[in-house]
Amino acid sequence: MTTTTRNRKLSPDELDSFGRELDEVRARAVAQLGQRDADYIRRIVAAVRWTGLGGRLALMIGAIGGAFVSGLLIPAWIVGVLLLALSKILENMELGHNVMHGQYDWMRDPHLDGKTYEWDIVATGDNWRKTHNYQHHTWTNVRGMDDDIGYGLLRLFPEQRWRPFYLFQPIVAVIFAVLFEWGVAIQDLRLGRWWYGKISNAQMRKNFRPVGRKMARQLIKDYLFFPLLAGPFFLPVLLGNIVANVLRNLWTYTVIFCGHFTADAETFAKESVKNESRGHWYLRQLRGSSNLTGGRLMDLMTGNLSHQIEHHFFPDIPAHRYAAMAVDVRAICARYGQHYNTGSLPRQFGQVVWRILRHALPSRPPVKRARLARSSA
């Protein structure tokens, strides 16, 4: 783990007490779990269902009614798309992502069970529980272990080896953003390893079966079933569903990239996680994550990933509690001289875009640069 000027180096004792204080923040939140959290997640469920219904109805009214009443199509279509996108964003972020972390398992509600929840995107819940809950959250920003660093597609850190393919990165990044849910869906298939013959065709067919089923289901639902309900006026509904899915993809991509790829976010070498202590684990989560400022609306629309740091510290605590927990977390970080990486969405995303553009070209880690400068002096 590199120590920048923004972060004080902690002694082993300090690391222990740093971890202990954060464990206490967690224990206080666990002790408070109750009706308020159950009511909150049920309100989110209701919001997802009602905005989903409203969006689909508005699209239907726009498509069918618009054929007979001029001037109805466009406004109803826009309202429909926005409501449907809102529903999908809430389902994806605040409901699906958080429930699958097991944040509401303590309620013992079979509909909110983290192990069986299936969300409304083309990626299967089972794949996500593996790539995200396990790989990403355990090995956050560890190079070679956390596939979320560039998703095997992008070069975001100078420590990643440069290849000529990365020159196309600005375009690849935009395509990836538009098709983000498809990227998530195939992440666990590791197509690259299959391409290079490290995964057999038979194994790949087996791995693909559940993914293909989920993809087909989502395609038929959004691009066949609901459009066909509008009969001959299916085209606006089809387009509306496509646009809603793309809007959701762009937004989730933006939020997720801001979580780990801002200017101060660090990556770590594999050696650094050997025999990692609790305090050290917290420290790595802190230095690899970054937050977004923006208040309650931002928290809601990002599924509280605006509190990425708190989410990585406490992935199984109901996410709507992060904002309150962040007060304590920030104070602890300040006391231990650790930089708490947060900023507005434009600022954080600007840094992400800069990383995408900058590291499309060859670049060297700052440490190596410094060493080179010294040796040439």
Partner 1 sequence: MSARPRPASTRLPARSDSPFRRLARPWLSPRVFDFWASRLHPTWSWERPLARIVERRAESADAVTLVLRPNRHWHGCRPGQHLNVSAEIDGCRVTRSYSPTGLPGRDRRVAITVKAVDGGKLSRHLCERAKVGDVLDLGPAFGDMQLDENAAAPRLFLAAGSGITPLIALTRALAARGMPAPLSLLYWARKREQLCFVDELRSYAAAHPRFQLRFLLTGEAADAADEGQGRIDAAQLATIADLADREVYACGPGGFVDEARALLAARTVSFQAEAFSPPPRTQEDLDGTVEITLAASARTVTVARGQSLLGALEAQGLKLASGCRMGICNTCACGKRSGSTRHLHTGDAQHEPVSALRLCVNSATSDLVLDL
> Which tokens belong to 137?
């959250």
Residues 6+ away with beta carbon under 8 Å from 14: 279, 336
Contact characters 87-116, partner 1, x per CB under 8 A: -------------xxx--xxxxxxx-xxxx
Exactly one of 5, 11, 13, 35 binds partner 1 (CB under 8 A); which one?
Answer: 35
Question: Is 168 near partner 1 (CB under 8 A)?
Answer: no
Q: Could you give the maximum distance between any two Cα atoms of the chain, in Å?
A: 78
Number of residues forming the site for partner 1 (CB under 8 A):
41
Residue 113 Cβ, how far from partner 1 at the closest point, in Å?
5
Is the Cβ of residue 143 or residue 217 nearer to partner 1 in the bound state?
217
Exactly one of 6, 8, 27, 362 binds partner 1 (CB under 8 A); which one?
Answer: 27
Q: Which of residues 268-307 bind partner 1 (CB under 8 A)?
A: 281
Exactly one of 17, 78, 130, 234 binds partner 1 (CB under 8 A); which one?
Answer: 130
Residue 40 Cβ, how far from partner 1 at the closest point, in Å?
9
User: CB of 326 within 8 A of CB of 317?
Assistant: no
Is the Cβ of residue 148 or residue 316 nearer to partner 1 in the bound state?
316
Residue 120 Cβ, how far from partner 1 at the closest point, in Å?
9
Could you tell me which stretch among 81-89, 199-207, 217-225, 345-353 binds partner 1 (CB under 8 A)?
217-225
In the complex, which residues of this chain contact partner 1 (CB under 8 A)? Answer: 23, 27, 30, 33-39, 45-46, 49, 100-102, 105-111, 113-116, 118, 129-130, 133-134, 137-138, 217, 220-221, 225, 281, 315-316
